[in-house]
With several copies, the nearest count.
Chain A
Amino acid sequence: MDLSYGAEYEAFRDEVREFVAAHWSREDARNPERITAFRLKATEAGYLYRNIPRRFGGSEQPADVLRAQVIHEEFTSARAPMEIYGNGVRMLVPTLLECGAPWQQEQFIPPTVRGQVDWAQGYSEPGSGSDLASVRTRGELVGDEWIINGQKIWTSRAHECRYMFALVRTEPDAPKHQGISYLLLDLHQPGVTIRPLKQITGQSTFNEVFFDDARTPLDWIVGRRGEGWQVSRATLKHERTGIGNAETYLEQFAKLLNVARSATRNGRPAIEDPIVQDRLAEIEGYLQAHRYSTFRQLSMSLAGKDPGPVTTMNKLVVTNLGHMIAALAQELIGDASLLLPVYEPGHKVGDERWMNQFFGSLGIAIAGGTSNIQRNIIGERGLGLPRDQTGGDS
């Protein structure tokens, strides 16, 4: 058992560190041109877009989870920009690489990778949450165009996106899963209306998108008619390959400790309160278990071994962790939990910032399939129990 990365990777780490030191400084962060230039250099050096072919703007490196991890660590610690973050790079590009037509790959991947366009995800609808395959947004082929009518919801940052990839029902008479196509469409057109969706935190990071005779060309379809469900599964597969990351929760726990140190209970620092200590240690048990569990999963993946059912559990595990941390934080901050964190100029946000974490932990339990769907997946794919009616996407 060896928690270090080994000599080869430490040498690689030195190389990456030197590269970053040579090409990036903190002040660059305020200069969009410098950021773009750095990304280009880092891609040429083989550090970014590693699984994307060179002809589409990637660096086309052999898969190597540890190198990716080293790059992530070094870039993050220098606060250097990594890949463009968004649904385009994260979901559409892998899908196009796997299922897209050559012209689609050529036309869409390079500008997406360069950050010139981003994509909105058009999956969820008001009536289709966990039962995604029940989408009702219709697409009708009229001449050489798809005419699209309906509504999508939970579309993040739709305002800032040029395009959308969407699940659209094009074969209304086919069985549920066989009647969907995976269409690409331009959001900058009269038939599309975008409305921000205010969340319970008061912020608006999601949108509703309405289609009223929106149009897209005949060949802006990925895969064939009626194959959209399968195509979207490919995307989800990519989304889910990420092994549960414990870093976020380690950071949250460190912040939780700080709150416990600054808060008081019965006139003493809360962290000296036996109840608080007990709950912190309980949370840390879950946290360190998950942390080393991710190391184990990573190590096994590196060795080409199957980590087993635990991979189906990561989401529920971190959902529970987030909930435990948020619940304790809410108690520790005391009366600050009576306040809504308001991010406005001139307004100082104090401990009430934890209320965003408090609501966020609920949002995580809901987003991307509720925890009940996760429990189905664990029960069926993880434990081998029989499917029931909500087998969902398994």
Chain B
Amino acid sequence: MNFDLSAEQTALQDSVGRLLQNELDQVRLLEIFDSEDGHDARLWQALGELGVLGLMIDERHGGTGLEMLDAAVVTEMLGYHGAPGPYLGHVAASLAICWSANDAQKERWLPRLATGECLGTVALAESDAAWQPNEWRLAGPTALNGTKRNVLYPAQADVMVVGVAGGELMLVENPAETVEVTPLPSLDATRRIAHVAFRDTPAAPLSGSAERLRDALLVLLAADAFGGARRCLDMAVDYALTREQFGQVIGAFQGLKHQLANVAADIEPARALYWYAAHAFDAVPEDAQRMAALAKAHVTERFLHAARECTQAHGGIAYTWEFPLHVWLKRAVFDRMYMGSTSMHRTRVAELSGWALAG
């Protein structure tokens, strides 16, 4: 048995951690958080140079040809550092193109997606939080008309994977020329969203599975959430070790100590859950859907809980914009709602488990 990261995976995770440590201190993070577009070219380029953006793109097309588990442990680090930018949608779009575009499309996009020179995104949700493939109504066959909601960085995207009726996917190239983007005031300003209106937008069918694309995003959100939860706890512990009240550091008070211990016990095992969901995505097809849903529901729920508790543990300072803990609180809300609510995914877990049938 070896349910652990390989030396290569650990090294990759560490290198991403070091990069973000250097490129993204808390001042820089807040600058990007407060910026107009929430997308920092230098950070994006650095991630591209490290290979983070083409991790799952095959080597023939300029990527590293790694698997979901590798991408997930990297995503944990992005979550830990609160990395802003179009990463999530970009990785998802790249994956979908890898799986299901034709050779010409792949040649055209993958090499530049792998470096980050081009930006990809995915447009999935429709009204009423319709995140699931079977809920999509937007339809082809060749031109799209209608709206997708809460799309990540559509205005900057060079290529967009769109979910359409029947749980199919289509490719829109250079969407800036053919769609209308309505920016939204993103609560989580590290992941900017907008509504996208298609008006006779030309689109090409893709052969790949929208469900698998959904599962990929669920695993990545779980990984991000675990990193974020861990960061909230680390910040609260650091604060508890330095902040003094009543003549001692507040971490010595049992009330706070127990509060942080509860958070730690609540989140720490979740690391292994997202690992397994990622591993199942790669290697255990019969578990993949169910574990992706379970991990997304569980880990993002734990993240929001941890973010709330750790905000409280800090007291007033954490209620200020200048102290960046709120960045993770808002990421937690994003991770929990994006791609569908906890309650919805728990219902899916019940269905996928066949609980009501078996026995």
Interface residues of A (CB under 8 A from B): 1-6, 9, 66, 69, 124, 126-131, 134, 153-154, 197-200, 202, 257-258, 260-261, 264-266, 269, 271-272, 274-275, 277-278, 280-282, 284-286, 288-293, 295-296, 298-300, 302-303, 305, 309-310, 313, 316-317, 320, 330-331, 334-335, 337-342, 347, 352, 355, 358-359, 362-363, 365-367, 370-372, 374-376, 378-380, 382-390
Contacts and interface: CB of A to CB of B under 8 A. Distances in A.
Contact of B237 (A130, A134, A260, A384): A384
A1 B275 contact: yes
Given A281-B297, A299-B1, A362-B308, A292 B272 contact: yes
Contacts of A285: 273, 294-295, 297-299, 301
* Residue of A5, A69, A313, A317 with highest tally of chain B CB at under 10 A: A313
A296 B291 contact: no
B258 A379 contact: yes
B285 interface: no
28 contacts: A1-B279, A3-B3, A126-B317, A130-B246, A199-B319, A200-B318, A202-B321, A257-B359, A278-B347, A292-B275, A299-B1, A299-B2, A316-B261, A320-B265, A334-B341, A335-B125, A337-B187, A338-B186, A339-B187, A341-B185, A355-B187, A355-B333, A379-B264, A382-B264, A386-B252, A388-B252, A389-B247, A390-B253
A79 to B, nearest CB: 23
B274 to A, nearest CB: 9
Interface residues of B, number: 91
Interface string B291-325: 10011011101000000100110011111111000
Task: Say whether chain B's binding surface is mostly helix, strand, loop, or mixed.
Answer: helix
Interface in B242-259: 244-249, 251-259
A197 B319 CA distance: 10
Interface of B: 1-6, 69, 125, 128-129, 149-150, 184-189, 193, 233, 237, 240-241, 244-249, 251-262, 264-265, 268-273, 275-276, 279, 283, 291, 294-295, 297-299, 301, 308, 311-312, 315-322, 326, 329-330, 333-334, 337-338, 341-343, 345-347, 349-350, 353, 355-356, 358-359
Given A366-B316, A376-B254, A385-B240, A293 B347 contact: no
Given A1-B5, A303-B4, A340-B186, A129 B359 contact: no
Given A6-B1, A131-B245, 7 more contacts: A197-B322, A257-B359, A296-B272, A313-B265, A335-B337, A338-B184, A362-B311
Contact of B264 (A282, A290, A378): A378
A385 B347 contact: no
A169 to B, nearest CB: 16
Given A331-B341, A375-B262, A261 B187 contact: no
B269 A290 contact: yes
A380 B4 contact: no
Contacts of B150: 335, 338
B36 to A, nearest CB: 14
B319 A289 contact: no
B54 to A, nearest CB: 21
Contact of A66 (B1, B320, B333): B1
B253 A383 contact: no
Contacts of B1: 2-6, 9, 66, 69, 295, 298-299, 302
Contacts of A355: 187, 333
A390 to B, nearest CB: 5
B52 to A, nearest CB: 20
B31 to A, nearest CB: 14
A50 B270 CA distance: 33
Given A309-B268, A338-B333, A362-B319, A2 B294 contact: no
B320 A375 contact: no
B151 to A, nearest CB: 11
A289 B315 contact: no
Contacts of B248: 386, 389
